Structure 1
Amino acid sequence: MEQRKENIVMFPFMAQGHIRPFLALAFHIVERKNCTVTFINTPLNIKKLRPSLPSNSSIRLLEIPFSSTDHGLPPDAENTDAFPHLIVELICASHSFKPSFTALISNLIQEQNGHRPLCIIADMFFSWTAKVAHEFGVFNAIFNAGDGYGMGVFHTLWLNLPHLATDSNEFPLPGFPESCRIRLNQIPEYLKTIKPTDSVVKFQQRLCHDWVESDALLFNTVEEFDHIGLTYFRQQIKRPVWPIGPVQLSMESKAGSWELYKNWLDSKASGSVLYISFGSQSTISMSQMMELAKALEASGKDFIWVIRPPLEFDINSEFNAEEWLPEGFEQRVVGEKNKGLLVHKWAPQVEILSNKSVGVFLSHCGWNSVLDSLSHGVPIMGWPMTSEQHFNAKKLEEEMGVCIEVANGGSCEVRHEDIVAKIELVMNETEKGKDMTRKAGEVMEMLKNAKKDEDGFTGSSLKAIDEFFNAALLQREKTTMSHNNGNLLGTREVLSSNSLV
């Protein structure tokens, strides 16, 4: 009789920056642990995911009912990529999932003749799933697609609001070593003006507090360069914290598109191309776009720019180069001189960064993009936009030496002369540029080693996955024994009794 495979339930928030790393983790777990995954999301997101899975996949896609209009949202508002300004509303609406999610877990258990899922891995915004998991005696983990440092700074700023208690431009971060200080210009604008009594503060603090309801935290990072951030969460949350990264999902190149980029990139010298992208949901202002375009032309560097309409316009509208770029820019730089490619909305980022001609990535410092870049040894020019991106940029520049910040925010004032100076500093064979490239190469090796499993060597992230899996198995054994004895212990008690915390 064939042995039953363990099943892991995964439930990411409705955004590509969350769904993609969750799906990458699903593939990773299936390969590493020979189990099945039940991947839950709303109907439109599941529909988009189906083509990416083979018919015989061990990953099963399962829809959870959701009607956006029931929550005062536009029709089909099931993903923040199309509605980036509605993220808070979508998070609030997601609390309505609880009854349906409970029913889905109950049905899964019935399908397996009472055999429970080994674990429920939920998004950082779905900490309420812990209570559902514990009702069924199932181990629950929060998977954060970011790193420990950036999310730790985000966590402590919202919980403690230290910048409101000082007049100093620089201040320590509660829970972090004294040496980890932050400057006022390194935090998002919206955090500078909030008050402790604001509803958004209460909302964010509740989200941060609720992480303690989970049995463990997973981060898409590695212990080797994220020890400070991971230690923060181990001390503050007092739960097992496992760095299981890098988990990355390379989007399949759309038919014919990669050949276009590859042929162009292959015609360029090694390390000579600047790749520019601000992620799937971010863009810059029209004035910033003008200055960046002027800088690219003045620098004379080859570039690929994934470009979207500026902040003042609908991000999903068609791009108007004549209005939003300097006069004749596209014809001169892209056409006549063949110095660049303007890519509207989407490009095969992982494939581009893997090409030897790419020397630097001008990025918003979203963690998925950071991993894409550093996994290929490409240093970063940081232009953080929001949330923990600012703290990612701080870590990358100050702690790791693989980044230099170009600008801060989507509406700050920038001058093309300053951007040119930063481009030349990184790309013109300066000592700074060489040092950044060398350190990015060292980080690339760290990331590779974390997932290496050969010649008796097991990388730190693979060990973390194994420890996480074993903890979930141990919890299930204990709850099963307790249930058989007529006393179904919760997962929290089981973990405590086994000194896993």
Structure 2
Amino acid sequence: MADAKLLFIPTPGLGHLVAMVEMAKLIVDRDPRLSVTVLLMKYPFDSDVDSYTNSLATSGASPRLCFVHLPRDNDDSQSSSAHFLTNFVESNKPRVKRAVAELADSAGSTGRLAGFVLDMFCTTMIDLADEFGVPSYVLFTSSAAFLGMMLHLQSLQDEHHVDITEYKDSAAELDFPSLTNPLPAKVLPGLVLLKETVRPFLGHAKRMRAAKGIIINTFDELEPYALKSLAGLGAPAVYPLGPILNLKGETKTKACGGRQGNDIMEWLDKQPPSSVVFLCFGSMGSLGEEQVKEMACALERSGHRFLWSLRQAPPKDKVWFPSDIVDPTEALPEGFLDRTATIGKVIGWAPQVAVLAHPAIGGFVSHCGWNSALESIRFGVAMATLPLYGEQQFNAFELVVELGLAVEIKMDYQRHPRRDPRLESDFVVTADVIEGGIKKLMEEVDSDRRKKVNEASEKSRMAVIEGGSSYLSLGCLIEDILNNMP
């Protein structure tokens, strides 16, 4: 019987939520002394996250892994605010506290409360852990290099009184302890460039310093330099456990009973090995009308086979989550689908893991979300970068310049889900630039980049098996949890 209970608190963003659930599975599968309860906060609006969370109750996971669905706050009046996520987490604190109190009361028969594992955007919940007298750990769902950037910027702001927002529109190149190359200021995340968001965002870095440990979705062999730098930046104990990926199932169930996913895989089965370029921009990513046309023109001119996940941007009064396009002919250049019918397929939602694992895929044009980057590395698929928002510009820089695993299309392109005009790029990446990136991605078969991707793929597989670096790191984390429980 499990005698130590961990509470996991993710934010409802799909990339964050899936990583935390997969990590919970790793922990309960590894040590029978631990059980995990995941507290699921719900956005006030319907989203792709709902179908995933609803599926968790029937996922057949370990009996030592359970999910508590917290009540949904239906007030979405602030959903377009720059402070939406901060306010959302704060508003859920009372619900979380009640749920933890109930679990703590019932823990006598099922094990002691051992600690909180918090999403990187839920660091203010450390206060609740302190109230219950248990340690906190933070799951950082981006790279070690990005964590180093956050810690460094927070130190510059709070200890050296540097105004980080002055780097907006700057051509400067900045040195960071977690990077071996200078970082162009233009690829800093938008949240650190606006006065109303920089302090809440970097506040998470400050709070992370007070955690018992930081769990990072990366692995030693991918980011050795960045991981070594973190102790000097004031980070607590760091546990790289990655790649933490959902490799067994898709996170979205289609109303058509999976038929769309089957159609995609059947089409890929008919394509030659490594011949298809896959284009997909994440659960929150979509392109503007003019950018879609430039992308289509580039694909047609490149002559390469393609699978394109094309999503409809949300209306201006809604935020974040795009939807499948009902009629792609309205968004694409006239005659495009007919002219490319023999080499291409335009889809809506994509079963991304299954696609990247398919032998027909030869390259991935990606928004550079960290989970997508890890999936691409895991399956040995080289990337071309077209980041949209968040830390994706930073990730693109790391993948292209630091790690040499990707081709640049455009590293500083910005298209934010909230469409904040202060952060949006006012340019469109032209078909010529995109075509050049696709050709470089697909035609440099024996390049050093391909070799590095294949090496990183093998190392990512080895990291998580028994005796691998992430496997050993997970063992250290579990021992730390058991040794520090009250």
Task: Give the TM-score band, short-chain normalised.
Answer: 0.7 to 0.9
- Cα offset for 1:427? 1.2
CA contact (8 A) 2:286 2:313 kept: yes
CA contact (8 A) 1:46 1:63 kept: no
CA contact (8 A) 2:117 2:138 kept: yes
Of Structure 1 and Structure 2, the greater helix share is in 1
Structure 2's unaligned 5+ residue stretches are 44-48, 157-162, 416-424
Distance 2:61 2:152 in 1: 44
1:171 is aligned with what amino acid? Answer: E
- Cα offset for 1:191? 5.2
- Cα offset for 1:468? 0.9
CA contact (8 A) 1:153 1:388 kept: no
Q: Does 1:108 align with 2:103?
A: yes
Q: 1:459 aligns with which of 465, 468, 472?
A: 468
Name the counterpart of 1:182.
183
Equivalent runs, 1:204-283 vs 2, <5 Å: 204-250=201-247, 251-252=249-250, 254=254, 255-283=258-286
2:220 is aligned with what amino acid? Answer: E
Name the counterpart of 1:496.
none
- Cα offset for 1:36? 2.2
Name the counterpart of 1:93.
88
Q: 2:462 aligns with which of 449, 453, 463?
A: 449
CA distances 1:77-102 after superposition (whole Å, capped 9, x unpaired)? xxxxxx6x557313212112223322
- Cα offset for 1:461? 0.6
- Cα offset for 1:48? 4.3
- Cα offset for 1:312? 7.7
Name the counterpart of 2:433.
418
Name the counterpart of 2:336.
329
**Alignment CA distance shift 1:312-1:46 (3 Å):** closer
Q: Does 1:352 align with 2:351?
A: no
Distance 1:279 1:165 in 2: 27
- Cα offset for 1:227? 2.6
Q: 1:339 aligns with which of 338, 343, 347?
A: 343
**Alignment CA distance shift 1:294-1:43 (3 Å):** closer
Distance 1:29 1:118 in 2: 13
- 245-254 vs 12-21, which moves further: 245-254
Distance 1:62 1:9 in 2: 10
Equivalent runs, 1:2-151 vs 2, <5 Å: 3-34=1-32, 35-42=34-41, 48-52=52-56, 53-54=59-60, 57-69=63-75, 72-73=77-78, 85=80, 88-113=83-108, 115-151=111-147
**Alignment CA distance shift 1:463-1:56 (3 Å):** closer
Distance 2:223 2:390 in 1: 18
1:295 is aligned with what amino acid? Answer: A
CA contact (8 A) 2:221 2:459 kept: yes
Distance 1:55 1:218 in 2: 22
- Cα offset for 1:328? 1.1
CA contact (8 A) 2:191 2:201 kept: no
Q: Does 1:403 align with 2:406?
A: yes
Distance 1:452 1:7 in 2: 25
Which structure is larger by alpha-carbon Rg, 1 or 2?
Answer: 1
Match of 1:213, SS state, is coil
CA contact (8 A) 1:308 1:319 kept: no
Distance 2:191 2:128 in 1: 33
Name the counterpart of 2:419.
none
CA contact (8 A) 1:8 1:118 kept: yes
2:11 is aligned with what amino acid? Answer: F
Distance 1:202 1:142 in 2: 19
Aligned pairs, number: 449
TM-score by length of 1: 0.82
Identical pairs, percent: 25
CA contact (8 A) 2:178 2:230 kept: no
Distance 2:93 2:105 in 1: 18
Distance 1:72 1:261 in 2: 38
Distance 1:257 1:165 in 2: 45
- 396-405 vs 161-170, which moves further: 161-170
**Alignment CA distance shift 1:237-1:98 (3 Å):** farther
Match of 1:440, SS state, is helix
**Alignment CA distance shift 1:110-1:278 (3 Å):** same
**Alignment CA distance shift 1:357-1:133 (3 Å):** same
CA distances 1:456-497 after superposition (whole Å, capped 9, x unpaired)? xx1111111111111111112xx4xxxxxxxxxxxxxxxxxx
CA contact (8 A) 2:383 2:407 kept: yes
2:464 is aligned with what amino acid? Answer: K
Match of 2:300, SS state, is helix
Name the counterpart of 2:483.
474
